[in-house]
Chain A
């Protein structure tokens, strides 16, 4: 019987909830509030490099006074300097294009895995997961040697005579696309494979039995039923790709604008903490939409399965 079970909670039960809860409140939620607060502060030549700093020791009165010094100036600055909004737009565009490319490459892989013999599937699955365990940085680094002007790809293409002079790929957006597709491919293949593998083979047999040719059966049966996996996979690529730093920094060029990189530069090179905080807040606001959509979709899948 599936009845809603109200849980009797002992002291131990409360401790179990409290410890991870408090940890996350301190190290996850509180930092965001601080980011938000600092995004309303002003840059200063001081340590830490912003004012006002809220010093609890100076009491309630000072707190109220400090409150008055907060301003939305940083946010106005973000709208004035076109570097920022161009970064946001370019991040979303680059992430979108990369997600689409990942889907184009990932779908055939997931489909091939789902169609392969049962005995082979665990091995294939592990082969997809394995790169995920190896360092992100290393995997991105590996592409530098391949893509640069005197790199392996150009050597190969020159050797077989496809091109006469080296292609410039490294330090362009193309390299960034390659990097994102490569790094996030497992994130797309895994949920997609899961939904394709669950697909009942007799559905396709039924479709063919009713006179539907295989290619049409794929279009009418397989594709629609794998859609939840497609959506989940695309979200899993798109969301982190928007805020990506390592890939545009190592593979992209100076004209590759991505917001993660902009934030990094603002923070480490310009040491403008308030503005980088404002950048983070806006980035988060942009990402909240896909994150919530993704959560809803996952919820729906979970409910359907229950």
Chain B
């Protein structure tokens, strides 16, 4: 995609509220028909970024382009984007139909065009039987769908979704995520979603921008972000991770060797790093990539360490086993995921067991910051 011209572009955008910098000199390109997610904790600036695109905030400096057009000076009500609000912001005094028709009427469409489009939207969001109801007569999931239908009715160039599923319970949220993806596929509209929920971002988005303190930390596909985070922040923010402090001891064409702060754990990886010999780095490895078994490690083997089972979190499908590794007094914990593939295990790993933890050469990544 990057060989196309960008559909949405933020160019050196900064937004300050008094002394507080919500968005700091940020540049970002989003392409047509992408399902793009802005992911970050609260106060990271993701919502502000979206609101600037919608026209509810004015950038302190920088430019925003949509489909080649500079949006500066265009008020919210003239922008070709539509937004689905976190609170849904349904008009409480209007029926579902009227809510959906509201935007179309602003465009002075004829009555028949309006009713055709409303019907289409009701069908798309499976709300036909609720057309005459008022928002307070709907369940949370139905309200969410009305908000979606209303914001899609005008066929916006880009649909903005501000934490669209935050108010739904877990099960409904998962269903709705897939529904959103199907609708996006059907309409081929560009979707920009703001969320703090990493699972949601990973599920729905083609690409994710991870934000922190008003800046982009990493922009990549969900798989890249998970498997090859570019920083401790991203590795820690997305999913569960073991971060092992280490120093670089050898570099070669075939890979890198690290000496970790845990006594007895040397790490060999295929990854090359631009860190020099003796530099401090972190080795990030996901718990599910750590194998755990009873026993002791082979003397001098790399990517292996002895541990003592300290804690077990039984989650049903998997158990997360926390093992103490390295010097006893240091409290270094390594987490490993253990898939509960059979219902009864003859010799299960349990508290205070001596175990060996091992991983492959390509299981983790070296992070410099």
Contacts and interface: CB of A to CB of B under 8 A. Distances in A.
Direct contact of A and B (CB under 8 A): yes
Interface in A1-29: 1, 3-6, 8
Chief secondary structure at chain A's binding surface: loop
A5 B58 contact: no
B58 A1 contact: no
B348 interface: no
Contacts of A6: 17
Interface string A76-90: 000000000000000
Interface string B14-54: 00011010100000000000000000001100011000000
A8 B43 contact: no
A8 B20 contact: no
A3 B44 CA distance: 13
Contacts of A1: 22, 42-43, 47-48
B163 to A, nearest CB: 12
Nearest to A5: B17
A204 B48 CA distance: 44
A1 B49 CA distance: 13
Contacts of A3: 17-18, 20, 22
B268 to A, nearest CB: 45
Contacts of B20: 3
B58 A4 contact: no
Contacts of A5: 17
Chief secondary structure at chain B's binding surface: mixed
Contacts of A4: 17-18
Task: Classify chain B: how many residues form its interface, as a range.
Answer: under 10
A4 B48 CA distance: 13
A8 B58 contact: yes
Contacts of B18: 3-4
Nearest to B57: A5
A171 B283 CA distance: 91
A5 B17 CA distance: 7
A3 B58 CA distance: 14
Contacts of B58: 8
A63 to B, nearest CB: 45
A6 B17 CA distance: 8
A51 B58 CA distance: 57
A45 B22 CA distance: 69
Nearest to A10: B75
Nearest to B45: A1
A8 B51 CA distance: 14
A3 B56 CA distance: 13
B48 to A, nearest CB: 7
Nearest to A3: B17
Interface in A255-295: none
Contacts of B22: 1, 3
Contacts of B42: 1
A274 B17 CA distance: 52
Interface string A125-168: 00000000000000000000000000000000000000000000
A103 to B, nearest CB: 40
A169 B202 CA distance: 81
Contacts of B43: 1
A294 B18 CA distance: 31
Interface centre among A1, A4, A6 (most CB of B within 10 A): A1
A3 B15 CA distance: 12
A133 to B, nearest CB: 27
A4 B20 CA distance: 10
A3 B23 CA distance: 13
Nearest to B19: A4
A119 B47 CA distance: 42
Contacts of A8: 58
14 contacts: A1-B22, A1-B42, A1-B43, A1-B47, A1-B48, A3-B17, A3-B18, A3-B20, A3-B22, A4-B17, A4-B18, A5-B17, A6-B17, A8-B58
Given A1-B42, A3-B22, 12 more contacts: A1-B22, A1-B43, A1-B47, A1-B48, A3-B17, A3-B18, A3-B20, A4-B17, A4-B18, A5-B17, A6-B17, A8-B58
Q: What 3 A-B pairs have minimum CB-CB distances, sorted nearest first?
A: A3-B17, A4-B18, A4-B17
